[in-house]
Chains A and B, each alone.
Chain A
Amino acid sequence: MTFDHAPFLFGPALLHWVLVFGCFAGIVFSVSVLIALGVYGASGPTAVMGRVWQGLHDFLGISPRRIWAISLLTIKEAVRRKALFVFVVFASLVMFAGWFLESDLRADLQVKNAVSFALTTISWLTLPVVLLLSCWGLPEDIRLRSIHTIVTKPVRRNEIVMGRILGFSIVASLIVSMMGVVGYVWIRRQVPNNAELICRVPVYGELSFLDREGNLTDKGVNTGDIWEFRSYVEGGTRSSAVYKFPMDKVTDNVRFESRFEAFRTHKGRIGQSLLVRYVLVNPTKGLRVPLGSFEVAEFGLNEKDVDRQISFFDEDKNDNRTVDLFDDVVDQNTLTVEVQCLDAGQYLGMARPDMFIRMPDRSFVVGYFKAVVGVLLLSIFLISIGVTSSTFVKGPVSILLTFTVLLVGQGFREFMLKLITGEQKGGGPIESWYRLITHMNDTLQLPDNFGVKLMQSIDNLFMGGLWLVQHLIPDLSYFVMSPYVANGFDVPWSTAMAKCIAMTVGYLVPCLLVGYYSLTLRELEAK
């Protein structure tokens, strides 16, 4: 896995959300107007508008006290139904798990196993409970008609949905935090004496390449490796990888960590690794500061510390010089590092996440509990979906539905993406059929007439629909943060936490709307 996702940008994300949500709401609205027109005639659309107006009114008039009352009821119900019992299951699982985890592994692997085990167990125990509770609550309330005593009080239907979601979220928080604490204590005891729990904070940069003549390119050399993840720089030439790291804090010392891959075209010196050199560059000042070369650790980690004051031999001036890392080298809050391979005829491979600046470590607790929060966020996400779906279907169906969302969100999304992007060639479905039947290949120009225009606009609509569907499916893999922690990394705020929070909120809003309308438009009779 890579720990390096694109960072979360609030502005574009919001725009994207508004776009997807707007399309979705627009479609639902137009379809309801059309149906209303068909069923009720001219008064139909007015009625739909009335509903929208009423909805607006109900959302503005919500009362925190009523929502809290329903949350409290939900919590009491869950507690008295002994939902917290799952915590006991967890505690006993964890108590005996030590026997089954291998203890003759390398120390760091033991740590990794223990952390993964604890976090995975927490999510595997929490999610089913959350799924059951949230999908079962409302349908049961409707079946027993206890909901009649609530909706005959001045309770808005959206308050019921909100109260339920809030209540279940609090139950989930209780379960997850208790498990988190027990899990933490257990991990602490599980760690062997010669290992430590670390939480590294990496800062990643942008990667570009210079070819052997020193010209900028996107990609380095392809050495024929089937996996195109890494690009290669050629040794002994001007070819190099250029990392640009964001640098906005001044520190006494900077540590670079990297994992590079060597690709050999000849044996070279037996028993010696490739020689690598970092060159710090300030492009504005034309300053180049070569650091001492080192042998690359081909299957391990290269660590290189750089002090703030750097002494080096300036080849241009033929003199020893001392520069200040932050005053002289860092340019516009960016630190540029060129990575060069010094062995002629050998190649050095790297990708963006292969090199980072390691900031001062955080405490392991911080990283660990961020991952626990990840589980909680996923629970809240599922609760929103579960409660919403349970407003219009019965418990078992609702569970199935929510579970499907979970499955699809975990892996199926990739497949959908390929399907959709794969179809781009040769136009949409109708156009491709047309081309197929008329034996036109997909590079031939279509005639410019009304039929073709019509065909293409229908196709565009269809592709738009697919686009919407694709963007409605959440990517739930972001919520799984245990790999960061298990591998000794902090859970980054921007690329993981912020995304998950945004995703949870982003889905919560439409869920509230759908839940509100389905509770308002249906008779609350058990059918």
Chain B
Amino acid sequence: MEKQPVIQIKNLTKIYRDFWGRKKVRALNSLSLEVKKGEVFGLLGPNGSGKTTTMKLLLGLLFPTEGEINVLGKPASDVSKNEWIGYLPEESYLYRFLNAEETLDFYGRLFDMSAQQRKERANQLIEKVGLQNARKRQLKEYSKGMTRRIGLAQALINDPDLVLLDEPTSGLDPLGSRDMKDLIVKLRDEGKSVVMCSHLLADVQDVCDRIAILYAGELKELGSVEDLLKEQHETELLTSKLSPEAVIDIEAVLAKHNAKLLRHGHPTNSLEDLFLKTVQKSQERPGQRYVPTGSEKT
């Protein structure tokens, strides 16, 4: 039951050039991946690894140097696909002289929504992102988190099928980021696809179905969160507290089966470990990259 992809990226390379056309930065190097319908996909990577670049390429804000991008079955340069896309930029670049209501009204107009629809939707979203008390204030007076919230509302104005969130939880208070994560999960439950990038690994671990880890523009890991965190060569047992004797007994049983107790204690293979390990490995052996296995066709 392969779900159809909402995003297909093939051999995507992006080289930033300066004014004179000279090559400056190779931000992405032959990236290939797919995002399926109805999943929450996380893009991870250290600063400057090309996450935002990938998002902008998906939206047609940047033009690829090489490679193919398909979003909702259309090339990235086709603006008509934007009808079903919501985008929260890395920093909320909104119009600072508008207030929250005007902002949502403006973006609603860009979707050819009627006045009635715009009003309803704006009220609903202001409620959703918790800006009821600031709806009449101009955005230039907003704090960072408030700006993030209105940015999110703006991204959802058209009830999109595909939501691209560039660091959705940055700048939000714990409550806000909890809300954000709930919202993402809710979007998935409604059958929407979400692509997000983030540094906050706990957030990613909480909500993402699959993740990709980028390092210096190259894909280093790709797969479902569960699979990636599961150590294939180890088995994990979770028991109630054991007495030292019990541990010795278990070791004896294991020895009988030709196995060894490696470690006992709290089993924490968190995403953080994986992330750090991947980055470390990439630093040590720069040439190595993610190779798709049979199940992960890219």
Which A residues form the contact surface with B (CB < 8 A)?
Answer: 63, 65-66, 68-69, 72-73, 76-77, 80-81, 144-156, 523-525, 527
B 119-162 to A, binary, CB cutoff 8 A, 1 in contact else 0? 00000000000000000000000000000000000100010000
What CA separation (Å) do A149 and B60 show in the bound complex? 12
- Pick from A63, A72, A147, A523: contact of B106, CB under 8 Å: A72
- Pick from A76, A144, A148, A154: contact of B110, CB under 8 Å: A154
Q: How far is the CB of B246 from chain A (nearest CB, A)?
A: 59
What CA separation (Å) do A148 and B94 show in the bound complex? 9
B 60-96 to A, binary, CB cutoff 8 A, 1 in contact else 0? 1111000000000000000110110101010101110
B206 CB contacts on chain A under 8 angstroms: none
- What are 15 A-B pairs with beta-carbon distances under 8 A? A63-B112, A66-B109, A66-B112, A76-B98, A80-B97, A81-B97, A148-B61, A148-B87, A149-B93, A149-B154, A151-B61, A153-B110, A154-B82, A154-B83, A524-B61
Which B residues form the contact surface with A (CB < 8 A)?
Answer: 18-19, 56, 59-63, 79-80, 82-83, 85, 87, 89, 91, 93-95, 97-98, 102, 106-107, 109-112, 154, 158
A sample of 16 more A-B contacts (CB under 8 A), given A77-B97, A145-B89, A148-B93, is A65-B112, A66-B112, A69-B106, A76-B102, A144-B93, A145-B91, A151-B61, A152-B59, A152-B61, A153-B110, A153-B111, A154-B80, A155-B110, A156-B79, A523-B61, A524-B61
What CA separation (Å) do A150 and B154 show in the bound complex? 11
Say what secondary structure dominates the interface of chain B: loop
B56 CB contacts on chain A under 8 angstroms: 148
With contact pairs A154-B80, A525-B62 given, residues A69 and B93 touching in the complex (Cβ less than 8 Å): no
With contact pairs A73-B106, A154-B79, A156-B79 given, residues A146 and B94 touching in the complex (Cβ less than 8 Å): yes
Instruction: Find out whether the CB atom of A148 lies under 8 angstroms from the CB atom of B109.
Output: no
What CA separation (Å) do A152 and B56 show in the bound complex? 9
What CA separation (Å) do A155 and B61 show in the bound complex? 13
Instruction: Find out whether the CB atom of A523 lies under 8 angstroms from the CB atom of B109.
Output: no
A66 CB contacts on chain B under 8 angstroms: 109-110, 112
Q: How far is the CB of A61 from chain B (nearest CB, A)?
A: 8
Instruction: Find out whether the CB atom of A153 lies under 8 angstroms from the CB atom of B107.
Output: yes
Instruction: Find out whether the CB atom of A145 lies under 8 angstroms from the CB atom of B93.
Output: yes
- Pick from B18, B83, B107, B158: contact of A149, CB under 8 Å: B107
Instruction: Find out whether the CB atom of B97 lies under 8 angstroms from the CB atom of A76.
Output: yes
Most buried by A among B19, B60, B107, B109: B109
With contact pairs A69-B106, A73-B106 given, residues A154 and B93 touching in the complex (Cβ less than 8 Å): no
With contact pairs A150-B110, A153-B110 given, residues A527 and B97 touching in the complex (Cβ less than 8 Å): no
A145 CB contacts on chain B under 8 angstroms: 89, 91, 93
What CA separation (Å) do A73 and B139 show in the bound complex? 14
A527 CB contacts on chain B under 8 angstroms: 18-19
Instruction: Find out whether the CB atom of A149 lies under 8 angstroms from the CB atom of B82.
Output: no
- Pick from B18, B82, B89, B97: contact of A153, CB under 8 Å: B82
Q: How far is the CB of B58 from chain A (nearest CB, A)?
A: 10
With CB as the reference atom, state the residue of chain A lying closest to B63.
A523
What CA separation (Å) do A66 and B107 show in the bound complex? 9
B82 CB contacts on chain A under 8 angstroms: 152-155
What CA separation (Å) do A252 and B59 show in the bound complex? 72
- Counting from the closest, the 8 A-B pairs by CB-CB distance are A69-B109, A153-B110, A145-B93, A80-B97, A152-B87, A154-B82, A146-B93, A154-B83
A81 CB contacts on chain B under 8 angstroms: 97
A63 CB contacts on chain B under 8 angstroms: 112
Instruction: Find out whether the CB atom of B63 lies under 8 angstroms from the CB atom of A146.
Output: no
Instruction: Find out whether the CB atom of A69 lies under 8 angstroms from the CB atom of B110.
Output: yes
B154 CB contacts on chain A under 8 angstroms: 149
Instruction: Find out whether the CB atom of A149 lies under 8 angstroms from the CB atom of B97.
Output: no
What CA separation (Å) do A152 and B97 show in the bound complex? 20
Q: How far is the CB of A109 from chain B (nearest CB, A)?
A: 47
What CA separation (Å) do A475 and B85 show in the bound complex? 46
Instruction: Find out whether the CB atom of A155 lies under 8 angstroms from the CB atom of B79.
Output: yes
What CA separation (Å) do A214 and B197 show in the bound complex? 93
With CB as the reference atom, state the residue of chain A lying closest to B113.
A65
What CA separation (Å) do A68 and B98 show in the bound complex? 16
Q: How far is the CB of A59 from chain B (nearest CB, A)?
A: 13
Q: How far is the CB of B89 from chain A (nearest CB, A)?
A: 5
B158 CB contacts on chain A under 8 angstroms: 153
- Pick from B19, B80, B89, B111: contact of A148, CB under 8 Å: B89
Q: How far is the CB of A434 from chain B (nearest CB, A)?
A: 39
What CA separation (Å) do A419 and B148 show in the bound complex? 59
What CA separation (Å) do A316 and B205 show in the bound complex? 113
What CA separation (Å) do A63 and B111 show in the bound complex? 10
A151 CB contacts on chain B under 8 angstroms: 59-61, 79
With CB as the reference atom, state the residue of chain A lying closest to B19.
A527
What CA separation (Å) do A156 and B77 show in the bound complex? 11
What CA separation (Å) do A68 and B113 show in the bound complex? 13
